[in-house]
Amino acid sequence: MGRKRKASESEAEEAFEKEKENEEYRNKQQQQKKNAGEIVPSMIRNKERRSEVHAKLKHQKKVEKRKKIQARDAAEKRALELGEEPQPRSVPRTIENTRELDETVCKPDDEELFAGNDADEFSVVLKREGTAKVLITTARFNSTRGPAFISELLSVIPNAHYYKRGTYDLKKIVEYAKNKDFTSIVVVHTNRREPDALLIMGVPDGPTAHFKLSKLVLRKDIKNHGNPTSHKPELVLTNFTTRLGHRIGRLIQSLFPQDPNFRGRRVVTFHNQRDFIFFRHHRYIFESKESKETNSEGKKAKDAKLAKAPQEKVVARLQECGPRFTLKLISLQHGTFDTKGGEYEWVHKPEMDTSRRRFFL
């Protein structure tokens, strides 16, 4: 109990103290019981009581949180009224914004980067000196979801042509594509009737990127999906920051024509987050809506002079169409497909995974 007893104290005092100690001890035990009941509901064996306590705790937390937010909003409002600067809102700490420092992140003022871009394999397509032409093929065995996925890819990528794989070697197909002036090859690899890998290859001498493909959702499985038109889509590439990411971004960019039909209002997104590349395909529309008139009469009269101008509000609406999937880079090979004699620009190795906050794209 942490109490030191002095040697030169009278007996009465001693007794008194003992009593006190006992009392304290009892109190503490009770508190502990209480605490235990409050903090760890998993200690309670009775399920009904446990869930009850758990729900109570959860509710408490919710209420506290709401109170906190209300207090913050009130403080902000007060600050605004007083004409002060409101306290800056704290930014939550996420894995992305505590990312490990990476010296390969591209900087906009890097002239070598642009010189490198001009010299790389995709510059012909990206400078609009040639048109993108894509050959899509599969692995040797291909069924159910594979063909469905490919037919959707064909609708996503303009000027894409599907060729049956047959029993050709991939190297032979690369040769063929070179002769026919294709600019890229996409190979969908299927395992157990489920597409699980994607190979994107620049032709004639572009790099070969090998992606793991997961979470594939086809168009018909998306609720309220739209059907894409045959316009050339707009392309959104986000978060490709490092040199490697930049290169992958350019590789993906070279699959699509560089002159989108904005009339089509069709957008294809490759979003990189924590080295996973999320693919989405949307149609969008700008709708001008009249602003909602939920305000009370009295207020409206007050604001009438002020709020007459922004009467019409433009709202962007999205409708998802086309497949939805996630890619993860496994390797980037220099040159076209060559598993035996190929040189890699980047390979994922297990020793790289020593930190959760290290990203390569």
Partner 1 sequence: MPRTTTIECPGCPPLRALTFDVLGLIKVIEAQGTQGGIPKVVERWGEPDSSKCVLAASINDRKIDPLLAVARKGGMIEVCSPINGDVRFTVSNVSDASLRPEDDAVVGLHLFSRQKLELTSRSCTLFTCTTKGNASMRSIEITDSPEGSASVGSSRTWSVCASGNILCTKVDASENYALFGGKGVEVNMWDLENCTKIWAAKSPPKNSLDIFSPTWFTSATFMSKDDHRKIVAGTNNHQVRLYDISAQRRPVISFDFRETPIKAVAEDLDGYTVYIGNGSGDLASVDMRTGKLLGCFLGKCSGSIRSIARHPELPVIASCGLDSYIRIWDIKTRQLLSAVFLKQHLTNVVFDSNFADKEVAPLADPPLNAEQIANENEISDDEETLPVKRKKASKKEEGSKKKKKKKATKENASEVPEENEESEKVALKEKKGSKKLKPKKRSKRSKYEMVDDAP
Among 21, 23, 38, 110, binds partner 1 (CB under 8 A): 110
Q: Is 258 exposed, middle or buried, given 0-12, 13-18 or 19+ CB atoms closer than 10 A?
A: middle
Q: How far apart are CA 251 and CA 200, in angstroms?
A: 8
Stretch that binds partner 1, among 1-9, 64-72, 190-198, 348-356 (CB under 8 A): 348-356
Stretch that binds partner 1, among 72-80, 129-137, 299-307, 339-347 (CB under 8 A): 339-347
Going by C-alpha positions, the residue among 61, 24, 23 that lies closest to residue 39 is 61
Among 7, 12, 91, 119, binds partner 1 (CB under 8 A): 119
End-to-end, the C-alpha distance of the chain in Å comes to: 57
Residue 169 is a binding residue for partner 1 (CB under 8 A): no
Going by C-alpha positions, the residue among 182, 189, 120 that lies closest to residue 327 is 189
Going by C-alpha positions, the residue among 139, 267, 263 that lies closest to residue 198 is 139
Among 11, 85, 109, 112, binds partner 1 (CB under 8 A): 112
Give the residue carrying structure tokens 């392309």.
235
Q: How far apart are CA 359 and CA 94, in angstroms?
A: 13
**Minimum CB separation from partner 1 for residue 351, in Å?**
7
Q: Are the beta carbons of 86 and 76 closer than 8 angstroms?
A: yes
Q: Which of residues 204-243 bind partner 1 (CB under 8 A)?
A: 243
Stretch that binds partner 1, among 145-153, 229-237, 292-300, 335-343 (CB under 8 A): 335-343
Q: Are the beta carbons of 322 and 266 closer than 8 angstroms?
A: no
Shorter beta-carbon distance to partner 1: residue 112 or 259: 112
Stretch that binds partner 1, among 181-189, 254-262, 297-305, 337-345 (CB under 8 A): 337-345
**Minimum CB separation from partner 1 for residue 348, in Å?**
8
The size of the interface with partner 1 (CB under 8 A), counted in residues, is 33
Among 11, 48, 85, 111, binds partner 1 (CB under 8 A): 111
Shorter beta-carbon distance to partner 1: residue 320 or 345: 345
Exposure of 50 in the CB half-sphere (CA atoms within 13 A) = 8
Residue 115 is a binding residue for partner 1 (CB under 8 A): yes
Q: How far apart are CA 190 and CA 136, in angstroms?
A: 13
Shorter beta-carbon distance to partner 1: residue 48 or 351: 351
Stretch that binds partner 1, among 33-41, 78-86, 309-317, 333-341 (CB under 8 A): 333-341
Helix (H) / strand (E) containing 241: none
Among 113, 154, 217, 218, binds partner 1 (CB under 8 A): 113
Going by C-alpha positions, the residue among 50, 18, 22, 20 that lies closest to residue 36 is 50
For the chain, give percent helix, strand, coil, nearest 5.
40, 25, 35
> Is the omega angle on the peptide bond into residue 204 within 30 degrees of 0, that is, cis?
yes
Residue 100 is a binding residue for partner 1 (CB under 8 A): yes
Residue 355 is a binding residue for partner 1 (CB under 8 A): yes
Q: List contacts with partner 1 (CB under 8 A).
A: 93, 98, 100-101, 103-104, 110-113, 115-116, 118-119, 243, 334, 340-349, 351-352, 354-358
